[in-house]
Chains A and B, each alone.
Chain A
Amino acid sequence: RKEVEQDPGPFNVPEGATVAFNCTYSNSASQSFFWYRQDCRKEPKLLMSVYSSGNEDGRFTAQLNRASQYISLLIRDSKLSDSATYLCVVVNSGTYKYIFGTGTRLKVLA
């Protein structure tokens, strides 16, 4: 079993739709969680951190469920510019290494 798992997609949604991605992790000792966005042939860029209490940044909402060991990302009112691959990142306590998921590809259609 992979340490961080994501549905690769693609998720094809119309503009204005709400879409949600989940990411599961296997190490219960994981301490920090992030969502990154990666455009084709580019480096990943930090989208938002994920806090236990859940957090929101504009149209984006991230949540953490430690009991079930997953994090989620909700995108409301999807824009064409949201089309990208969304990478889940988990940081393990002890090693502090970033463990990347394989990413979920989102295509927002006009």
Chain B
Amino acid sequence: GAVVSQHPSWVICKSGTSVKIECRSLDFQATTMFWYRQFPKQSLMLMATSNEGSKATYEQGVEKDKFLINHASLTLSTLTVTSAHPEDSSFYICSASPLAGGYNEQFFGPGTRLTVL
């Protein structure tokens, strides 16, 4: 149980285009989803937390207008990187948690590798 999928697993795009990444919880309802970014040889950095039906909470330094997050259902959250640039190239990983509030285990998706040319 507790499977999280991401699509696509990798994407290559031209600078200036927008890229949408989907995160789905396959066998549970994810009230809360998290989006992380990992640059080479660095750790996972939390970008934002989203709760189903409400606006995402972004971490300091993460531009909410550039990284659009939509958590419209209990099994799907999307991250759209708008007007992507080469510095946005990274490994984007989502995680999902079955409950909101308090501590709950996070289940990680397999990640999406974005390369912006």
Contacts and interface: CB of A to CB of B under 8 A. Distances in A.
A43 B108 contact: yes
B91 A98 contact: no
Contacts, number: 38
Chief secondary structure at chain B's binding surface: loop
Given A31-B103, A102-B42, A102-B43, A97 B49 contact: yes
Classify chain A: how many residues form its interface, as a range: 10 to 19
A25 to B, nearest CB: 13
Given A43-B93, A96-B102, A96-B103, A103 B109 contact: no
B113 A41 contact: yes
A2 to B, nearest CB: 9
Interface string A37-73: 0000111110000000000000000000000000000
Interface in B87-116: 91, 93, 95, 102-104, 106, 108-111, 113
Interface of A: 8, 31-32, 41-45, 87, 91, 96-98, 100-103
